[in-house]
Each structure stands twice: as C-alpha cells, then as structure tokens.
Chains A and B, each alone.
Chain A
C-alpha cells in the first residue's frame, strides 16, 4: 500500500518538478499553462509531503522563511497552501507575504456598500483576523449593492450576516463582531487591536471619529466614500501622512450633502471603491507598492475616469475624541460634558439661528387634515423620488436645494406643509424659506416614509 502510494507520489512529484524547473513563461502563455498544470501540482505537493519523512518536511518548511524576522509568522497549513496557491506564486506576496496576511488583522467600520466587497476579498485573501463594526440589520434596500448580504439574511444583523458569508468563503479567518455603533466611548478600545482600519461608514460624524481614533492610535485608515456615480479613496494616518481633516477641515452643514439614501448610488460603485480600499489594505499589510497616502483618488463611473489630487498634512494635531454628532452640527448624543464641548465646536463651525418653523408628526398632520386643515403641500424631494411614491394631495415638487428659486410661487398667506423622504431635507427647506420671510411653515417629521408607515400603507416605501 505504502509502496504504491510512494510510486504514485514519485511520478506526480516528477511532473511537478518538471513544471517548477521549466523556464519561466510570461503573458498569455503562462496564463494558459496555469489551469492545466495547476491541479496536478497541488496534488503532488500534498502527496509528496505525506511521503517525506518528518525531518525533511521540517527542512522544507524552514526553506520558506526568508530569514528577516518572518520566522515568527504563523506557518501555512496544507489546506492554506492549496487555497492561496495563486498568491504563493506571486513574487510580491509569496509564502512570506501570505504568512504576513495570516498574522494580520483588519477592522471594517460598517458592513454596508463599501464593507461588503472589501470584507469578501480580504477574507478570501487570507487576512487572519477580521473585525466588523455595524449596529444595523439587513434591509431589502441594501441588497442592490451590499453583496455580502443576501435575501436569506434579511432582518439579520449585518455583522452576523457578514460572518456567515465570510466563513463560507474562508473558514480560516477569525471573525470578531461589534454589533454596536462606533462612538467616542468605544472607538479607541475597538480600533487599537487592529493593524489597519477600513472606513466603510456612511456619515460624516463617523468618518471624523474613525479618522481621529486612527490618528490617536497610530493605525492606518483606508478611507472610502461614495455618492451617485462618484467615489473617493485615500489612505489616512499612514506613516505620519495626511488625515481626513486635511481633506475636509470643517464638516459640511447637516443636510448639505445627501446620503446614498437621499441621493441614490449606483449599486456597482461601492464594489469598485470597496475593492480599491481592500487593495490598499493588502498592500499596507504586505508592505508592498505605493500606498495611496497623500493622494485623494476620485473615481467617476459615468466618465470612467480616475483623477488624483495631492493632499498635504496641514491640520492641527488631534488632542482627543469629541462628540462627533455635535461637531458635525447634529444634536449631540453622548455624555453631557462631550455634548457641551461639541455644542461649542458646532456653534463655531455652524453659526445658525434657531429654526423658525413648526414640526408636525404624520399622525398629527393626518388628524389636522381630516378636520379641515388645508395647507399648501410642498414636496422637496427629487422628481425621480416623487415618481416612486407621492402624497396624493401634494401641490408642488421641487428639490430642497432649489426652494429659494421658486419662493415667489409659494403662498405667504397660507400654511405650507413641507415634506421629503424622512424629514431632513424638508427641515433644510423650511430653514431656507424661513430666512426668506415665510412664517407659516410646517415640517412633516419622518417625511413620506412616516406617512406611508403610519397613515397610508398603499404608498411604496423606498
């Protein structure tokens, strides 16, 4: 039995040896040769290893170490050698690089559009430990782009859904879950255990928080952001290079920049941007190539162009974490002290007068309408949103950024009920109109979605 196995092994090893010792081929020839010779070579490696007496196997293992400290890296099992064979034959990865990936850790902030493709590829590539921070659950509207999730995980927490898929792709990966929101209270603790952070968050407060926490912990932050057909990528906090505050020293006013939920996003876009982020993560972990630090890469899917802008470190040193909701002009969420500090920062960044309009819930508005209230109803969403679902009694549709332009057409002697999708843009529109002297303004809290959920279930929820 053993003799037979060794004979088979010898034959296959000879075949494998012939492959290795043949002169290197390039281009199409190499690509064409790979599928044909790949399979027997893998078999040969495994069977040959089974036949080699223990002392020789140990020597084989030692020859894979480069003698530059990589001896401390974890070894690859035979399963892993088979799985990562296309990496192992790549000169800039090789056995040592793959062992480096196995010893590495990455923290993904968000398992959404950007986190999905990045996590899939980082897990498949063999990064040893992957952390995921997300407090959301999988929603149907996510599936157009968040490809780590599926119809079978609708309603499941995103971190759990992502772990299931990751372990299916690569059971060698250790997955750590943080089913919570990243906050100023937990960010430093969560981030400090990881080699690289991949920022796939979807809002400005979190982007500033991730940035500051990474700078304070000295962890590289691979940043990505998307909207519509455009994406941005850069690497911050890398070897003393620039950070997010060098790109955006002052946050935009709340509501000035639409989220993907408001503005829409091409489903493939986060695939492109998330994969570029994952590529930078791998390069940083391997210590190979030119890392995208000090440069902002801007991708335009419509023009199919990649443009770059140089970015220099110029921001003030970061002293500590603050309340980022407050810093970005939103209502502070955390402790009183942080809230006070953030309120001061916010007042400096956004000197805004208090709103001069009423707020009305869907329930209250419905009751008032039933008892004879007859406001002018202004829909400040985009025309394409109005095509998905509209209040049947809406009088005008005009995007919130353009309300000033149509102010002359709006009644001043009548109540105006302003609504958008969930209430943010309509609040901005009310502020704009109030500044133009309109006094009888009502913002529909929760927007048409609240109306659809609470009052009229026949409306589509998008």
Chain B
C-alpha cells in the first residue's frame, strides 16, 4: 500500500522535499513502520523521525500511539515551531 507523507518546516529542510509517496509492504502498515521506512529512505530525518507527532488524515495522533495505516492515507510530519 502507498501512503502520502507531507513534510513541514524543519522536516522539509531535512527531507529536502515537501512530500513523498511511501510504499509499505505486508504487515508493515503502521505509523511505527512508516517512521522506520522514512529513516531508511531519508537518513537526514533520523534526529526527528522517532519523536515527532504525526497527523494522520488531518488528525493528530497520540504520542507513542502506533496507528494502523491504510492505502491512500496522508501522514504529515509537523515539527514544533516557537517563533513569535
């Protein structure tokens, strides 16, 4: 299955792109599997990929929650920002 991953703010700089399509195979269909896959595909994401809160289909997930993904889902990595 394929999911769309969107990168915001510093994640976009680290990833070097605004969005990518990620293919997850077989039982690897959770947000944890996606984090692992993202670090494989884009090693520069290593410092942020494990801790960042994910928004799946426009809804924030609980930190530490391993959400099951399905084909066509949109996952956003929205890093915290604090400027004012």
Contact = CB atoms under 8 A, between A and B. Distances in A.
B82 A249 contact: no
A201 B81 CA distance: 11
B18 interface: yes
B84 interface: yes
Contact of A204 (B48, B62, B78, B80): B80
B78 A298 contact: yes
A298 B80 contact: no
A65 to B, nearest CB: 39
A226 B83 CA distance: 5
Contact of A230 (B8, B14, B60): B8
Interface string A249-261: 1111000111110
Contacts of B8: 230, 298, 300
Chain A interface mostly helix, strand, loop or mixed? mixed
Contacts of B60: 246-247, 296, 309-312
B76 A309 contact: yes
Interface residues of B, number: 24
A22 to B, nearest CB: 46
Interface of A: 110, 112-115, 199-204, 207, 224-228, 230-232, 246-252, 256-260, 263, 265, 270, 296, 298, 300, 303, 307-312, 314, 401-402
Contacts of B9: 227-228, 230
A257 B84 contact: no
Contact of A207 (B47, B79, B82): B82
B2 to A, nearest CB: 20
A308 B76 CA distance: 11
Contacts of B48: 256
Given A230-B9, A300-B8, A202 B82 contact: yes
Given A227-B9, A230-B8, A401-B47, A248 B58 contact: no
Contacts of A308: 58
B84 A248 contact: no
Interface in B23-75: 44, 47-48, 51, 53, 55, 58-60, 62-63
